[in-house]
Structure 1
Amino acid sequence: MTDGSRDRARSFSSAAGRYGDHRPSYPAALLDAVEELAGFALAGARVADVGAGTGIATALLHARGARVVAVEPGEGMAAEFRRRNPRVPLVRGDGDRLPFASGSLDLLTYAQSWHWTDPARSVPEALRVLRPGGALAVWSNDPDVGVGWIADQQARIEKGFGPGWYINERPRSQDGVEFTTRLLRWSRRITVDAHLAKLSTHSLFLIGAPGTDDFLAAERDRLHVLFPDGRLTEHYVVELSLARAPWPKRHCTEHV
């Protein structure tokens, strides 16, 4: 991780409450897809949600009946998680050094957090802690740029701050780990101010990059012209990538 990436990763702790208030959740169909691709039910499954943040995804897994443990490296995020999810266990750690015994988990999840790991370390760590046949699931909420006003906003941000502002790397198949991908579209109706508050929780804005405050102010004026009643519909594409941990190879002995 570069120094710039570390600064961005650390920036979330300073705005944990705002993150929890304004970041979107995920559609129910997402966990249905996880169960389908993993080949087992979440109810009763041993799950670790890595980079849990304030617990947006962890809470959904818990409500589904999973025996979920949250893993979060940031102090501020961990404190906010405990405030919002007092009944869910949390440990401090990250995806490159998982604090779990080998073969102890059915499912390992990364919700909007895979890009903060080093895949050369996090993939072998996932294989270590998952039981044979267990699953690694990585997903994210991405703005649906097939919607005109969202595409225009993304273009303005990239023009002002560069194409790398939205950090969200997908997992790649490696070391015999093959990912299957599923896309799910959904939307939510919120106020213009809530949308801008959500936008301000992205790391580009949290680190206070030059021009971000002016950008948000100009964006507020622009969106109130587009949506004079002060409400808009955010459209998202959830990209789910899931891989199964391999079963041990069976050795057969021929008897002649």
Structure 2
Amino acid sequence: MTSAPSRAHSFNAAAARYAAYRPSYPPALFDAVERLAGNPLAGARVVDVGAGTGIATALLSDRGADVLAVEPGDGMAEQFRRTLPHIPVVRGDGNALPLADASADFITYAQAWHWTDQERSVPEVLRVLRPGGALALWWNIPDNETPWFDAQTERVARFLGMDDDARHTADRTSKLTTALDFRSDRLRWSRSVPLDTHLANLGTHSAFLVLGDERTAAFLAEERGELLKVFPDAVVEESYVVDLLVATRPA
């Protein structure tokens, strides 16, 4: 099985595709972050860690937050700068944040906390957050109550000989409550996308990125045929559950 660091670094070569095809997040997510944190994002100093190409960073900025992005990957940081030249991004990761003590009102991780070493990243969160500040973690997870997605998950798992990225992420999420005192919420949303977009998004998951272009292309070609049986108009209705966890540093 490919190591976690190799999977994490695999995104750098696919940064443009990641930016183009990965799903965004619903506005209700940020309402829930504010409610669970007990503080508004507008005017807050927010550090978005593992920012990638800036999908979440842009939405945080749109909410009126003063956002600083932290991203370890060369390719992802380069794509971030092309997409969001007005938002600062610094190189680093959650295990050693390049930030001053008590300098952030919020620290956010969108699809990224599971790549950290929590023995290091939790103390870093507590160091960088101001008293009363909040750590917010979230993941977009395809809704496993959707029959066609369940069937796709089984095909992916058989092909890769492992759990797919969504199940891997869900497993990591379930271990978090032992590290900090989290409050949680779950939000459902959906998007309609062309079949090509859905397949391209699937191909940006780390398990496929480390597999290589030839084998990935072969699977996606077969998957196209399977999905056309369900979506003959070649428009896929993707349903997601956003798992949100928020913990506040004591004042």
Same fold flag (TM > 0.5) = yes
Matching residue's letter, 1:154:
T
Matching residue's letter, 2:235:
R
**Retained in 1: the 8 A contact 2:2–2:210?**
no
Matching residue's letter, 2:160:
F
TM-score under structure 1 length normalisation: 0.92
Matching residue's letter, 1:40:
N
Select which of 226, 232, 241 maps to 2:245.
241
Q: Name the residue aligned to 2:70.
A: 71
Contiguous gaps of at least 5 residues in structure 1: 248-256
**Retained in 1: the 8 A contact 2:106–2:134?**
yes
1:174 to partner: Cα distance = 4.3
CA distance in 2, matches of 1:14, 1:22: 14
SS at 2:177 equivalent = coil
Task: Give CA-to-partner distance per residue, 1:129-165, whole Å, 9 cap, x none.
Answer: 0011100000010010101001110111112213433
Identity of aligned residues (%): 55
Task: Give CA-to-partner distance per residue, 1:34-66, whole Å, 9 cap, x none.
Answer: 000111110110000000000000000001000
Task: Give CA-to-partner distance per residue, 1:200-250, whole Å, 9 cap, x none.
Answer: 000111112584332111001111122111101000000000100112xxx
SS at 1:159 equivalent = helix
CA distance in 2, matches of 1:4, 1:182: 30
Distance 1:147 1:3, change over 3 A: closer
Pair 1:199 & 2:199 matched: no
Between stretches 165-174 and 92-101, larger displacement belongs to: 165-174
1:3 to partner: Cα distance = 6.5
Matching residue's letter, 1:149:
W
CA distance in 2, matches of 1:149, 1:173: 31
Pair 1:125 & 2:134 matched: no
CA distance in 2, matches of 1:107, 1:214: 42
Q: Name the residue aligned to 2:152.
A: 153
Superposed, 1:176-195 pairs within 5 Å as 177-195=180-198
Q: Name the residue aligned to 2:32.
A: 33
Superposed, 1:72-151 pairs within 5 Å as 72-151=71-150
CA distance in 2, matches of 1:165, 1:173: 22
SS at 2:151 equivalent = helix
- Bigger Rg, structure 1 or 2: 1
1:115 to partner: Cα distance = 1.0
Distance 1:160 1:115, change over 3 A: same
Matching residue's letter, 2:18:
Y
Q: Name the residue aligned to 1:230.
A: 234
Q: Name the residue aligned to 2:23.
A: 24
Q: Name the residue aligned to 1:254.
A: none
CA distance in 2, matches of 1:212, 1:17: 17
Between stretches 207-216 and 37-46, larger displacement belongs to: 207-216
Matching residue's letter, 2:82:
R
**Retained in 1: the 8 A contact 2:184–2:246?**
yes
Q: Structure 1 or 2: larger helix share?
A: 2
CA distance in 2, matches of 1:173, 1:146: 24
1:96 to partner: Cα distance = 0.2
The alignment covers a number of residue pairs equal to 245
Superposed, 1:152-171 pairs within 5 Å as 152-166=151-165, 167-168=168-169, 169-170=172-173
SS at 2:100 equivalent = coil
CA distance in 1, matches of 2:69, 2:154: 35
Matching residue's letter, 1:172:
L
CA distance in 2, matches of 1:236, 1:107: 24
CA RMSD of aligned residues (A): 1.5
SS at 1:35 equivalent = helix
Q: Name the residue aligned to 2:57.
A: 58
CA distance in 1, matches of 2:250, 2:216: 45
Pair 1:219 & 2:223 matched: yes
SS at 1:108 equivalent = strand
CA distance in 2, matches of 1:60, 1:132: 24
